[in-house]
A and B are shown apart, each in its own frame.
Chain A
Amino acid sequence: MNIKNILSHITHPIEHMSPLTARKRLPLGRTHGGRTLLCALLIGLSSCNSFLDITPDGQAKRDEMLQTKSGIEDALYGVYAQLRQSNLYGCELSIRGVEVLAQNMTCPGNDGIEMLQAYDYEKTDIRSWAESIWTLMYNNISNTNSVLQTDLVKDATAFPFTTYKGEALALRAFMHFDLVRLFTPQYTLNQQASGIPYQTEFSLKTPDFESLQKNYEHILTDLLEAEQLLKVEPVHQYEMTAFMNDRQTHLNLYAVWGTLARVYLTMGNKEKALAYADSVITKSPYCLKEKTEVINDVAGVLSQKETLFGVYFGDFYSTTSELLQKRTFYQSLDPRDDFMDYYERESLPLDYRTSAYFTQIEAGGQYFYRLSKFTDIYELNGIAGSRPAEQILGINLMRIPEMYYIAAECLLESDPARAKTYYNKVREHRGLNTLGASDQLTQELINLEFFKEYFGEGQQFYNYKRQNLPIVSFDGKKTFSASDKIYVIPIPNSEYANRY
C-alpha cells in the first residue's frame, strides 16, 4: 500500500510534463531503493514524502499551490497586491516620488523631497529610494514569472488559464515598462541606449542587461501576446467568478490596449498608438464621465466609468490622509506654488476639476491648498459604512482621458480636425469650453490638459520626459533643462555589483 502511493506520486502526470520537475526528480533514482525499503518500514504513514513534506500554516508549496486554479489566482492577487507597496504604486510611483520629480508636489524642509526636486540622484537617500523601487519591482516581476512558469499557465490553451497568462504577461510588461521609463533614456532620443535586464524567469539566474531596443521588443511581445490571450474577455466578462469580477482591478484587455497605446506613443509609433487608443475609446465598456460626475470620482476609489486599470487598496486612505489631506511638517505634500494658474479660473464656465481635486484648509490663520483628489470622503467624514457597494477602493493607474490625449497627439499633424474632436471631448466632460473651428490645437494645449487632468497621478514626469521638455521647479524659480541628468535615474549599484 505504501509503496504504491509513492510510485503514484512519482509518476504523477503533471510532474512529468515539466522538464524542470523531471530534472529535479532525477537524482532521487539513486536512492530510490533505499527509500522504498525505508518506507516499507514506516508503519502507519502513508508515505515518506508526505511525512517529510511539511508545510507550515499559512504557507503553501509553490509546486502544489500552482496546480490549482485558485492557487494561481491567489498568486496573481499577490502580485497585484504587491503593486500597492508604498515604494511602488502605493505612493512613490503615484502620488509622491514621481510627482515630486515632475515638480508637481513639494514638501518644504523634507530633505528627501528636496533632493528629488534637485534631481540629486547620487545622494545616498535617493540612491536607496531608487534601489527600493528597482528591487521591489523586480521582486514582483519575479513573482509574476512564478505564475507564468507553472505548467498550467505556460501551456494554457483554454479559459481561464489563458486569462491568467494574459494578465501575468501584461503585468510583467507593465512593470518593466515603468522601470524603463524611470531608469533609461527616452527611446526616441537614443534608440541605441542600453536598457535594463528583462526578467522572464522565476529562478536564481540573474538576467542580462540588454539594449533599450530589446527592452521595448520584449515589452511589446508580452503585451501583444497578452492581447491575444485576453481577447476572449468580453465573452467571459459576465461570469460571476471572483476572478472575472471587478475587472478594473486586473490588467484586463482594455488596460492592455491602453498600455500598448502608452508604449507605442513613448516609442514614437503614432500610428499604432492611435489605433490602440482608439480601440479603447470605441470598443471598451469605459467612457468619459460627465462633468457632474467629476467630483469624488477618483477619491480613493477607482473611477467606475473611466478607470481601465487600478490597484485595489483598502487602506489607501491612511496614505492619502497623512500625505495629502493633512498638513504635517516635513512629511505631507503641497501642490506646486502656481498650480492653480494652469486651471481656467478667470473665465466661465469653471473647470469642474478645481473644486473636485483641491480643497483649502486652515492652519494657523493661513489657508493652504491640499490635493484632495484621492481623499476618500466616506473615511474623511467617518461614514465608511455608508459607502455604495459598487465602489472599489484603490489607486487609478490608467484612465480613459489619457487615450483621448494620445489620440489627439497622434493626429495633431496628420488630421488636426479629428485631433481636435478628441481634445474637445475631454474638455466638454470637464465642463470647459471647447476649441472652435478656427482655434488651433497644439501639443502645448494637450500637455496643459494632461497636467490638469492627471495632477498627482504619477504620469506627468513621463509625459515631460517623453517629449524631452524642460521642467520648471515647483516654486517657478528655476528651469531644469531636459537632459539625462534629470530624466534618467541611475540604476542601483547593487545591480552591477552582484552579477555572477
Chain B
Amino acid sequence: MQAAPTHSGNNGSSPALTAAPTDSIMLVGTVYDAELDDVLPGVNIAAWRGGKIIAATTSDMDGHFHLALANADCEVRVTYTGFEQMVIDPKNCLTDMAIKLKPKSTKMNDVVVTGFFNKSKVSFTGSVTQLSGADLKQVTGVNIISAIAALTPGLEIVVNSAQGSNPNHVPELVMRGMSSFSNEGQSVNQPTIILDGTEISMQELYDLDMNEVESINVLKDAAATALYGSKASNGVIVITRKPIQNSTLHLTYNFTGNVQIPQLGDYQLLTPMQKLEYERLAGLYNAHGAINAVTGLPKQYEMDELYNQRYKTIMAGQNSDWLAQPSRSSFSHDHSLRVYGGASNLRYELTGRFANTHGVMKDDLRRRYGLGFKLDYYIANSLQISNRTNYSELSTKDTPYGSFAQYAQMNPYDAMYNEDGTVNNNLAWDLNNPLHDATLGSYSKAGTKSLSNSTDIRWDINRMFRLTGHFNVTSVSGWSDTFTSPFARRYKNETDLSKRGSLQKGNNRSNSYNGNIVGTFNKLFKDESLISASAGWEINHSDSRSEYMQAIGFYNDAMSFVGNAAGYPTNSTPSGTQGKTADVGAFLSANYSFRNRYFVDGTWRLTGSSQFGENNRWGNFWSAGAGWNVMNEGFMSAVKDKFDVFKLRASMGYTGKVSFSPFQAMTMYRYSNTYEYKNGIGAVPLTIGNVDLAWERTMNYNVGLDFSMFDRRLNIVVDAYIRNTTDLLLNKAMAPSTGITQAMGNLGELQNKGIEFQVDGYIFRTRDFNWKVGTTGYLNSNRITKINDALKEMNKRNEEMATAYLEPLAQYAEGESVTALKLVRSGGIDPATGKEVYIKLNGERTFTYDATDRVLIGDTQPKYNGTANTSIFWKGFTLYALFDFRLGGWIYNTTRATKVEGSNPKYNADVRVFDERWKQPGDLALYKNIADASRPQQTDRFAEMENTLNLGTLNISYEFGKDICAKLHARNLRAGINFTDLFRISSVKIERGTDYLYSKGFEINLSATF
C-alpha cells in the first residue's frame, strides 16, 4: 500500500513538477487496473485532512480525474472496490499521474468466500477461519479433513477409537459442540461443505485432491452462515479450488509418499507363561473334585495333564505373535498433475490424480482416480465464463482380517498355524482362530464413479453491479460387493451346501443439480463509506436410490461371481432406499460501512424445502451484525501505523438444520405387493406425518476481536459464542392406541457456549530467516436446557440395555451435557469378600448395584482442545511442528473394565490383570477377586480423566533455489518430509484402535512446477 506514483509511458506526455510552495494544486491523472492495464472509471479520489474530506472527485469513463486542492497539507486516497487503496502525498505529486491500482481479490485474506459471493473481510462481522492450500499441506498431505480440523479452532474430529487409522473410515466433524442428541448418529452434527458453489458430502471432501485447493473458509457464526439458512446450523466449510493464472504453459506435479507403521504400543498383553498362570489363578485348572463318569477317575487328573501339556509347550518356546498377523507397515502414494496456461481471453487447465492408499491392516486399500478439465473465457472488465468437468473414481477394499480385537484376545501359547502351514483350528478353550476366515476368499469391496460439470458466469455490468451465476450437474454411481466364503466359520453347522457362502451386492445412483444467481451491488462513497448488497436465489435438487440383494450358495471360494450362486436366501427380499430432496432459496444480504470505521451487516434468507412439514414449508433465517474498526478512529492515529487490523465485531442470527425424512413431516402412503388384496393393491401410511415438524433451529450469538499489529508480526483472533439450539428432533414414544408407537417431534433444547482463539506471531522475521509460533484453543461447554418425556423414555431404555454395552449409555438430564458420563460411585473392593462396594446416593454403602445411584462424573468431551505450532524458515528450509492437546475429558476405561477386571480367563488379557486383584481375605485390592470373571458393573472405578498431548505433525521442507531449478528446467521445486503422529502421551492407558489399528509414520512430499 505504498504510494508509488509512476509515470505513464503510454501517454507519452512528459512529467512536470508542480510549483511546490504555491497554495493551490491541481492533481491530474489517470487510474489504471494494474493487472489488466486498462483504465478504471468511477474511482474515488479524495483529499483528507484530520479525518475529514476536504475535496473529492471520481475518475471519468477514460479513468481521468482532476482534483483541485487548496494546499498540499493533506493526503489523497485513491479507493475503489476490489482494489487496494493507494495513498498519495500531494507534496510530491506529478501532474498527469498514472495511478495503477492492484486488484485485491488475488489476496485471499482480504475477502471472505461465502460460496455465493465474496464479502470484504474488513467490514465482515462474522466469525471465519481462513486457510490456504499450503497451510493444509503443511499439516498433512494425506488427510484433508484432519488438516482442516487441526487448523480451525472450534472444529473437531470426532474421536473414533475403534476405527483407528482406517483409511476407509471417513472422519466426522463437529463444529462448536454437539447440536443434537448423540444417539441419532454423528452425521447430524456434520457441517455443510461447499466446493466451488456446490454442496459435497464428507466423503467427497475426504477424497478431494489437496493440491487443487486454493483456500478454505470455515464459516462459524450466523453472520457467516445465514446465507445457507436451513443447512447452516453446524457451520459451513467453503472450499475454493485454484484459479487459473494468466500465464504460459505450466505443469505442476505433486507426489506424496506415505509410510505408516502400526501402533501396537497400546496393547500390553500377557506373555504365554503369565497367561497360563492367570488361567491357573482364575481356577480354570481346578476340577473341584469332579469325577469323570466314564473312567471313574477324578477330573483333576485331566486338568493337570492339560496344564502340564501347555506348560511344556511354553517352555519349548511357543509364543505366537497374534497382533502381528493382521497388521503391516504400509506404503501409499499419491500423484497429482496439473497443466494450465492461457492468454488473457482463454485459459485452460487439466488435472489428473492417482492415489493408492494402503492402511496398516493387511490387504485393505483405497484408490482414488481423478481427471479434470477447465476452460475459462474472459472479456476484460465484463464477462468471465468458466466450465469445469471432473471425473473421479474410487475403489475401496476392507481388510479380510476383520476386527483387530479378535487377535488381541488370542492365547499366545497356541500355535497359529499347523506344521503343514494350514491354519490351526484346534485352539485352547475351543476358541476360533480368526486367521481361518481371514485366509479364505471372503472380501468386501466398494467403489464409486462420479462425473460433475459446473459452469460459472460472472458478468460485471458496470462498476457497481455484478451478476454471477453457477450451475452444476453431478452424477454418481456406486457399487459394493461383500462375499463370505462358503468355508467361513459361520457356515460350520450349515449342512445344506446350497446355503453356504453369500454375496451381498449393492448399487446406488444419484443425480443432482444445483444452481444459483447472485447480483451484487457495491458503491464506495468519497468518504470511504461503502454500501454493498447482494440478492440471490438458488435451487438444489437431488435424487438418489440404492438397491441391495443377496445371493447364497457358492460351492467354491474362488468363484464369487453372482452367476455361480445357487439361489436366494429364504425369507429375504431385495431391498432398496430412495431419497429425493429439493429446495429453493432466496436471500438478501447488505453491508454498510461508514468511513471504514463502523459497519453493520444483515442477511435474510428464505428456504423452501421438500423436507419440511406442510405447515412449515418455508423457513426464514436471518442474521445481523455490527463491527467497529478501532484502528481507523481518530484517537488511534498516533499509533495507527503499528496496527494492521484492530476490529471488534458482534453478530447474532438464526440458522437451521433439517434431519428428518419427508414422510415424517407429511403422511405418505406406501404401495407394496404385500398389501395385494384380491382385486387391487393396497397402500398403507408409513406413519402419521407430523405436519408441524420443523427444522431444528439455532440462535447464534458471537462476539469477536481481530487484532494484528507490527506489520502482521502479531495476530490475534478471539471469538466467544453462545448457540441455543431449540426444536431438536426426537422420537417420542406414543401410546399405541394413537396408531403409531413413535412419532418425531421438535422436543429438545441444547446450549453450547464457548471461546476459541488463535494467536500467532513472528519472533524473528528477516528475508532469510524467520521463526513463527502460534497456538489455537477452544473451550466448549454443552448443556441440555430442556428435557422432556421422550428423553426420559430414552434414558429408561438405555438403562435397561446397559448390561449389553461395554461403555455406559447416555443418561440425559437437564443442565448436563449430552456427552455426560454418569456412573455409580464405588467404595472399592471389600477386603473381606473381594466384592465391590457401591455407594448409594445417600452415601450408604451396599453390595447391591442399583443403576439409579448414578452420579455425574464428568463430560466425555474435553474441556479444552488446543494446538501449538511453530515454524522456522531458513534459506529455503522450513521446519514446522504441530502439537495438539485435549484436556479434561472423562473416559470410561473399557480396557480396565474388560481386560483387567472383567476379563474372561480363556482369552488373553492386559498385563495389569495380575496387579491389585483381590486374592484372599484381607487384601486391600483395586480389583475384584482374580477368580471372578464376570464383567464388573459400571462404576466410577473405571472412569478416568484423559489428558493427551500429541505431536501430530513434524514437517521439514526445502524450497530449491533458482539456480538449481534452472538447471533442472523447473520453475519451482520443493521437497519435504512430514512425520505424522510421532508421539502421543496420554494419562489413560487404554487399548485404542480396537477394530482398526492406529498408525504413525512419515510422508514424503515432492512438488515441482515446470
Residues of B within 8 A of A (CB): 537, 539, 541, 578-584, 586, 606, 608-610, 614-618, 620, 662-663, 666-672, 674-686, 688-691, 732-741, 743, 789, 793
Contact = CB atoms under 8 A, between A and B. Distances in A.
A35 interface: yes
A77 B666 contact: no
B670 A58 contact: yes
Contact of A196 (B672, B675, B737): B737
B738 A207 contact: yes
A139 B586 contact: no
A52 B669 contact: no
Given A58-B670, A495-B735, 4 more contacts: A54-B580, A57-B578, A143-B684, A204-B690
A392 B683 contact: no
B739 A143 contact: yes
B582 A51 contact: yes
Main secondary structure of the interface of B (DSSP, over half): strand
Interface of A: 24, 27-28, 31, 34-35, 37-38, 41-42, 48-49, 51-63, 65, 71, 73-82, 131, 134-135, 138-139, 141-143, 145-146, 196-197, 199, 202-207, 242-243, 245-246, 249, 312, 314, 392, 492, 494-500
Given A81-B676, A204-B688, A204-B734, A74 B739 contact: no
A59 B686 contact: yes
Given A142-B688, A498-B793, A197 B617 contact: no
A34 B682 contact: no
A142 B580 contact: no
A60 B672 CA distance: 12
Contacts of A74: 669, 671, 680-683
A138 B582 contact: no
Going nearest first, the 3 A-B pairs with the smallest beta carbon separation are: A142-B739, A77-B682, A78-B682
Given A28-B618, A78-B682, A79-B682, A135 B741 contact: yes
Nearest to B675: A81
A59 B576 CA distance: 14
Contacts of B672: 58
Contact of A34 (B582, B606, B667): B606
A42 B539 contact: yes
Main secondary structure of the interface of A (DSSP, over half): helix
Contacts, number: 201
A497 B739 contact: no
18 contacts: A34-B618, A52-B608, A52-B610, A52-B617, A58-B670, A77-B682, A82-B682, A135-B736, A141-B739, A142-B688, A142-B740, A143-B739, A145-B739, A199-B739, A202-B739, A203-B738, A245-B679, A246-B678
Nearest to B586: A38
A19 to B, nearest CB: 14
A392 B737 contact: no
Contacts of A204: 688, 690, 734, 738, 740, 743
A229 B667 CA distance: 27
A41 B680 contact: no
Residue of A56, A138, A312 most packed against chain B (CB within 10 A) = A56
Contacts of B663: 59
Nearest to A26: B615
Given A61-B667, A74-B671, A498 B688 contact: no
Contacts of A24: 614-615, 691
Contacts of B584: 38, 42, 48, 51-52
Contacts of B580: 54, 56
B606 A77 contact: no
A498 B733 contact: yes
A294 to B, nearest CB: 24
A230 B616 CA distance: 40
Nearest to B741: A135
B736 A134 contact: yes
A131 B620 CA distance: 43
Contact of A206 (B620, B671, B677, B738): B738
A496 B583 CA distance: 41
A38 B743 CA distance: 33
B586 A37 contact: yes
Contacts of A312: 677-678
Contacts of A496: 735
A500 B745 CA distance: 13
Contacts of A52: 582-584, 608-610, 617
B679 A492 contact: no
Contacts of A205: 738
Contacts of A499: 735
Residue of B615, B616, B688 most packed against chain A (CB within 10 A) = B688
B671 A58 contact: yes
Given A38-B606, A59-B670, A206-B734, A81 B739 contact: no
Residue of B684, B686, B743 most packed against chain A (CB within 10 A) = B684
A381 to B, nearest CB: 22
Nearest to B581: A54
Contact of A203 (B581, B606, B670, B688): B688
A52 B583 CA distance: 6
A56 B680 contact: no
Contacts of B668: 55, 59-62
A62 B62 CA distance: 65
Contact of A81 (B667, B674, B686): B674
Given A57-B578, A500-B789, A197 B586 contact: no
B683 A197 contact: no
Contacts of B670: 58-59
B677 A249 contact: yes
A206 B618 CA distance: 28
B738 A77 contact: no
Contacts of A314: 676
B733 A494 contact: yes
Contacts of A141: 739
A77 B539 contact: no
Contacts of A134: 736-737
A31 B739 contact: no
Nearest to B688: A204
B936 to A, nearest CB: 26
Residue of A71, A78, A249 most packed against chain B (CB within 10 A) = A78
B69 to A, nearest CB: 48
A224 to B, nearest CB: 23
A62 B735 contact: no
Contacts of A54: 580-582, 610, 662
Nearest to B744: A204
A215 to B, nearest CB: 12
Contact of B677 (A37, A81, A497): A81
B737 A495 contact: yes
A143 B685 contact: yes
B784 to A, nearest CB: 19
A35 B608 contact: yes
B582 to A, nearest CB: 5
A42 B517 CA distance: 11
Contacts of B669: 59-62, 65, 71, 74-75, 78
Nearest to B736: A135
A314 B673 CA distance: 11
A497 B688 CA distance: 20
Contacts of A492: 736
Contacts of B735: 197, 206, 494-499
B865 to A, nearest CB: 39
A80 B737 contact: no
Contacts of B686: 59
Contacts of A41: 537, 586
Contacts of A249: 677-678
B737 A31 contact: no
Contacts of B608: 35, 38, 48, 52
Nearest to B577: A56
